[in-house]
């Protein structure tokens, strides 16, 4: 089996590539990445150590993509995932996330390749997600929080990023309609782990840990500036394991959409994350406050894993404490990456 991973030198793509190389012995793994994102050169070095070739191609360049060899499976991890970029550079978000998917789908149809597409929990309606909670009840127990499943409302604004992911899902269904090709769409929540070079609006977990580790400043932003926003976080290793399980079962289970998150054991607020970071690093840092809330931000999101668990007999193994510990160890052992968090 020949597998191409787009965005293969990004955080998710590189981890999946290395994991599959170790666990699918007969598979040949390839990466496609233009290497412009922060830290992509570090992840390319990891791919090199595993003997994984990267094609330095921008996903918007169909001419070059079309000339690549045939692949049995494409795992599309390529995206501009930062929500706030939707306001600053809408062309970049649209072209990378939607035109990029369009190009990959043309390649799939031409070569008869199956597809696993990494979508996002941000396809859901911002207004409806906000209606579930507010800053006064963000502290309530997880047992009382509505878990978001695949049937939650996707109409209404969800950010340009969310739109491009939802539109890409629809494109996949249209392209694969009445073919024998198989696809899986995974709507992931917050993914975190080693080799993620996080920033304020994307990859906040490693950013939070690194700022504590390096004794730099942070700031709670939005919803009163108290740090009460809540997310469930899934470890990248759990993402890799469910991806492998999906590949092995693609002939039996396909053409479906799954919500995948860290589950109730991995729910954390920014305030709680601060406590975990202080505990593991032994450092307390100044944390400012900005009460102004972005129009794209949501106060709480927790994935409902019921469908993915029932379908694959799978559940995430790692909790938020495991995630924080593994990122801390990665930071501690790799001084050369500290520059990406300063």
Mean pLDDT of 306-316: 97
Whether 184 shows a pLDDT value over 80: the answer reads yes
More confident residue, 19 or 342: 19
Report pLDDT for 134: 52
Share of the chain above pLDDT 90, in %: 87
CA dist 233 and 267 (Å) reads: 6
Report pLDDT for 339: 93
Whether 139 shows a pLDDT value over 60: the answer reads no
CA dist 274 and 44 (Å) reads: 31
Whether 308 shows a pLDDT value over 50: the answer reads yes
Report pLDDT for 197: 94
- Full set of structural domains in the chain with CATH: 2-341 (3.40.50.720)
pLDDT in tens, 152-167: 999 999 999 999 999 9
CA dist 152 and 77 (Å) reads: 23
Report pLDDT for 144: 64
Mean pLDDT of 235-251: 98
Mean pLDDT of 252-274: 94
Mean pLDDT of 87-102: 91
Cβ–Cβ < 8 Å for 294, 126: no
Mean pLDDT of 154-183: 96
**Residue 201 pLDDT grade (very low, low, confident, very high; cuts 50, 70, 90):** low
**Residue 136 pLDDT grade (very low, low, confident, very high; cuts 50, 70, 90):** very low
Mean pLDDT of 300-313: 96
CA dist 198 and 210 (Å) reads: 9
CB-based contacts of 213: which residues, under 8 Å, 6+ apart? Answer: 277, 281, 283, 328, 331, 332
Report pLDDT for 104: 98
Rounded to two decimals, the pTM is 0.95
Report pLDDT for 265: 82
Cβ–Cβ < 8 Å for 188, 301: no
Report pLDDT for 135: 42
Average pLDDT, the chain: 93
Three-state SS sequence of the chain: CEEEEECCCCHHHHHHHHHHHHHCCCCEEEEECCCCCCCHHHHHHHHHHCCCEEECCCCCCHHHHHCCCCCCEEEECCCCCCCCHHHHCHHHHHHHHHHHHHHHHHHHHHHCCEEEEEEEHHHCCHHHHHHCCCCCCCCCCHHHCCCECCCCCCCCCCCHHHHHHHHHHHHHHHHHCCCCCCEEEEEECEEECCCCCCECCECHHHHHHHHHHCCCCEEEECHHHCCCCEEEEEEHHHHHHHHHHHHHCCCCCCCEEEEECCCHHHEEEHHHHHHHHHHHHCCCCCEEEECCCCCCCCCEECECCHHHHHHHCCCCCCCHHHHHHHHHHHHHHCHHHHHHHC
């Amino acid at each position: 089996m020949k597998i191409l991973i787009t965005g293969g030198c990004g955080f998710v793509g590189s981890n999946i590539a290395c994991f599959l190389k170790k666990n699918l012995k007969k598979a040949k793994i390839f990466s496609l990445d233009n290497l412009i994102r922060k830290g992509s050169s570090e992840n390319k070095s990891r791919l090199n150590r595993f003997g994984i070739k990267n094609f330095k191609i921008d996903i918007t360049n169909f001419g070059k993509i079309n000339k690549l060899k045939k692949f049995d499976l494409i795992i599309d991890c390529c995206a501009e995932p930062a929500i706030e970029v939707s306001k600053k550079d809408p062309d970049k978000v649209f072209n990378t996330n939607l035109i990029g998917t369009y190009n990959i789908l043309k390649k799939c149809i031409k070569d008869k390749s199956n597809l696993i597409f990494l979508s996002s929990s941000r396809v859901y309606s911002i207004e409806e997600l906000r209606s579930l909670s507010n800053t006064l009840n963000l502290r309530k127990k997880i047992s009382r929080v509505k878990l978001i499943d695949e049937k939650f409302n996707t109409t209404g604004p969800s950010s340009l990023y969310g739109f491009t992911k939802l539109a890409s899902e629809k494109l996949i269904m249209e392209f694969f309609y009445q073919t024998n090709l198989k696809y899986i769409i995974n709507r992931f929540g917050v993914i975190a782990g080693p080799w993620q070079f996080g920033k304020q609006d994307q990859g906040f977990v490693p950013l939070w840990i690194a700022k504590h580790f390096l004794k730099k400043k942070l700031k709670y932003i939005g919803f009163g500036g108290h740090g009460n926003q809540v997310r469930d976080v899934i470890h990248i290793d759990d993402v890799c394991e469910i991806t492998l399980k999906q590949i092995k079962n693609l002939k039996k289970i396909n053409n479906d959409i799954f919500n995948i998150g860290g589950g109730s054991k991995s729910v954390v607020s920014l305030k709680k994350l601060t406590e975990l970071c202080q505990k593991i690093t032994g450092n307390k840092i100044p944390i400012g406050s900005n009460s102004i809330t972005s129009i794209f931000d949501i106060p709480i999101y927790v994935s409902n894993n019921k469908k993915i668990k029932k379908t694959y007999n799978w559940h995430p193994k790692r909790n938020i404490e495991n995630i924080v510990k593994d990122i801390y160890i990665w930071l501690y052992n790799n001084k050369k990456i500290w520059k990406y968090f300063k």
